[in-house]
Amino acid sequence: MKTTSPDTNTPGCAHCATDDANEKRVTQPNKIALLNRLKRIEGQIGGIRNMVEEDRYCVDIIMQLSAVKAAIDGVSIQLLSTHANGCVRKAVMEDGGEDALEELLGVIRKMMR
């Protein structure tokens, strides 16, 4: 695996790198915890599906949907934090990080929708 940015061919951070097809790949430092959180969310979604099948009270379903949304937001924040503290920080130190910061701001804008 190369450790260069696909756009600039400069060294990437410890977490983000490109492969031979020049695709961005990320190795999460806390991958197991992240996968466990996602499995928990999958379980919550299955529970909500069962609630709908069992004709459960709408408000109870909505509350569970709200909990899933919060859990997904938590995963997003965790990934955003890893990216900002790894990839973006390194880009800023190496070349000012204008592209990395612009990408980060774009992601934050999308998350806030």
Q: What is the CATH number of the domain that holds 69?
A: 1.20.58.1000
* Distance separating alpha carbons of residues 47 and 27, to the nearest angstrom: 30
Confidence (pLDDT) at 87: 87
Instruction: For the chain, count helices (H), then strands (E).
Output: 4, 2
Range of the structural domain that residue 105 is part of: 29-111
If we measure between CA atoms, which residue out of 45, 43, 4 comes closest to residue 25? 4
Residue-wise pLDDT for 63-80, tens only, equals 999 999 999 999 999 999
Task: State the pTM of this model.
Answer: 0.72
Q: Is residue 10 part of a domain?
A: no
Q: Is residue 55 part of a domain?
A: yes
The pLDDT-based confidence of 31 (bands split at 50, 70, 90) is confident
**Amino acid found at 24:** K
* Distance separating alpha carbons of residues 73 and 79, to the nearest angstrom: 10
Per the structure, the count of domains in the chain is: 1
3-state secondary structure of 10: coil
Residue 48 has pLDDT above 60, yes or no: yes
